[in-house]
Amino acid sequence: MISSLQIQGYRGLAQFEMSGLQRVNLLVGKNNSGKTSALEAIFLLATRGDPSTLWQVLWRRGERLSTVGDRTRERPPDLDVSHLFTGHSLHLGASFKLSAKNETPERTLTFTLTEIKPEKDTTDATKRGIIPSRVGLEIKGYPTPLIKIMPLSQSGGLDSDVLQSPRRMRRELLNEFPAQFITAESLDGSDLISLWDKVALTPNEERVVSALQALELDVQRIAPQVGGQFYYPRGGFIVKVKNHPHPLPIGSMGDGMWRMLAMAIAIAHCKDGVLLIDEIDTGLHYTVLGNMWRLIFAAAADLNVQVFATTHSSDCIRSLAELCYEESDIADNVTLQRIEKGNPKAVPYTAEEIEIAAERRVEVR
């Protein structure tokens, strides 16, 4: 389990540290303070700089190089890596470093823009006779990164060839330290269908149903739809609801149901790893937040998952405080981390301090 996180030069976090981390960690702060960036840093560390993780991080934020006027392009646009560095600066020697202390040896990753020397350039592009850019994103750290260097395209961006990293290594990585990142937009149908295999016909399936019942008591069962080809953004699953003769598409039951479904399925894939949730309360009414936290804590304890989540909602904080007050075992395993733009250290709140702040209506966001 991660006990502290250190970031140097990543996005808006020129120098940043979080300490005193617990089983469940809620990150709060104003817009553009760095909450999501901290989640991304943990995601990169957990996946050892996996190129597909880096691609997800850049693609989700829309950090793509312009392809205006190129109507013949069949490949995805190159992604703009300059935004990964503090100051959005793209030059040789630019770097950022991520590290985490935990119960096992420290994890660390350093990403540096460097010139590619011939002996380092062993990509498939070279083998096919394609001359890549002379600049690449070099990755060093421990455990050993999946790829040592990712060549940038002629436009100075990251192209989709980076997604061709060895599948065997990625499978080993997922078994070593599983990680899932749920964005504020949640996961789409194709994501959840691909994750369903670890849920079906296991106790985790019961956990998914319980999560949905926190919003709608009459939900009895859930199943993936058979034969569907398109699951984006709210498709691929049907639910059996009491007194309804036919199953209902889950997309017809609102964004909150989809949010709970995503969290319940994703956490089953994070056994002995980490679950990262941006804007955890998105789509959820304040009256169900207590049940949401109970489900998160129960699953995290059963599966040995460490959870990192962000919020802007005082209701979300207050519901967490009330749960800590009611159940001491939960209180011993939670922390709130307040992130302030420009402050090199997050301000940690223990469960007792969260309770006091909530009771006195003290602003902690």
pLDDT bucket at 146, cuts 50 / 70 / 90: confident
Q: What pLDDT score was predicted for residue 356? A: 75
Q: What pLDDT score was predicted for residue 264? A: 93
Q: How many structural domains comprise the chain?
A: 2
Direct distance between the N- and C-terminal alpha carbons of the chain, in angstroms, rounded to an integer? 25
Q: Is residue 14 part of a domain?
A: no
Query: Considering 165, 199, 220, which residue would you say is the last residue of a domain?
Result: 165
Q: Are 295 and 212 in contact (CB under 8 A)?
A: no
How buried is residue 160: exposed, middle or buried, by Cβ count under 10 Å (0-12/13-18/19+)?
middle
186 and 160 share one domain: no
100 and 195 share one domain: no
Q: What pLDDT score was predicted for residue 130? A: 43
330 and 225 share one domain: yes
- Tokens representing 87? 């100051």
| pLDDT tens per residue across span 163-194 | 765 555 555 555 577 899 999 888 888 888 88
User: Percentage of the chain with pLDDT > 90?
Assistant: 44
161 and 184 share one domain: no
Query: Considering 111, 135, 165, which residue would you say is the last residue of a domain?
Result: 165
Q: Rounded mean pLDDT of 132-137?
A: 77
Q: Is residue 338 part of a domain?
A: yes
Q: Is residue 71 part of a domain?
A: yes
Query: Considering 130, 165, 200, which residue would you say is the last residue of a domain?
Result: 165
Task: Identify which of 73-87, 126-140, 221-235, 346-360 has the greatest average pLDDT.
Answer: 73-87
How buried is residue 69: exposed, middle or buried, by Cβ count under 10 Å (0-12/13-18/19+)?
exposed
Q: Within 10 Å of residue 49's Cβ, how many Cβ atoms?
A: 23
Is the pLDDT at 5 greater than 80? The verdict is yes
| pLDDT tens per residue across span 238-269 | 899 998 889 988 888 888 999 999 999 999 98
Q: Is residue 88 part of a domain?
A: yes
Q: Rounded mean pLDDT of 98-112?
A: 88
Q: What pLDDT score was predicted for residue 360? A: 59
pTM for the full predicted model: 0.88
Q: Is residue 207 part of a domain?
A: yes
Q: Rounded mean pLDDT of 276-297?
A: 93
CATH number of the domain enclosing 300: 3.40.50.300
- Domain residues for 343? 180-359
DSSP strand E in the chain: where?
Answer: 2-10, 13-19, 24-28, 95-102, 107-115, 135-142, 149-151, 179-182, 219-224, 237-241, 248-249, 274-277, 306-311, 334-338, 347-349
Q: Which of 291, 299, 255 is nearest to 274 (CA)?
A: 299
152 and 267 share one domain: no
265 and 329 share one domain: yes
Q: What pLDDT score was predicted for residue 355? A: 75
| Rounded Cα–Cα distance for residues 50 and 44 (Å) | 7
| pLDDT tens per residue across span 107-116 | 999 999 998 8
Q: Is residue 245 part of a domain?
A: yes
161 and 186 share one domain: no
Q: Are 52 and 163 in contact (CB under 8 A)?
A: yes
Q: Is residue 256 part of a domain?
A: yes
198 and 157 share one domain: no
243 and 301 share one domain: yes
pLDDT bucket at 124, cuts 50 / 70 / 90: low
Is the pLDDT at 97 greater than 80? The verdict is yes
Is the pLDDT at 71 greater than 80? The verdict is no
Q: What pLDDT score was predicted for residue 362? A: 53
87 and 124 share one domain: yes
Mean pLDDT over each residue of the chain, to the nearest integer: 85
DSSP 298: H
Q: What pLDDT score was predicted for residue 131? A: 45
196 and 79 share one domain: no
| pLDDT tens per residue across span 292-307 | 999 999 999 999 999 9
Q: Is residue 36 part of a domain?
A: no
pLDDT bucket at 128, cuts 50 / 70 / 90: very low
120 and 259 share one domain: no
Q: What pLDDT score was predicted for residue 68? A: 53
Is the pLDDT at 86 greater than 90? The verdict is yes
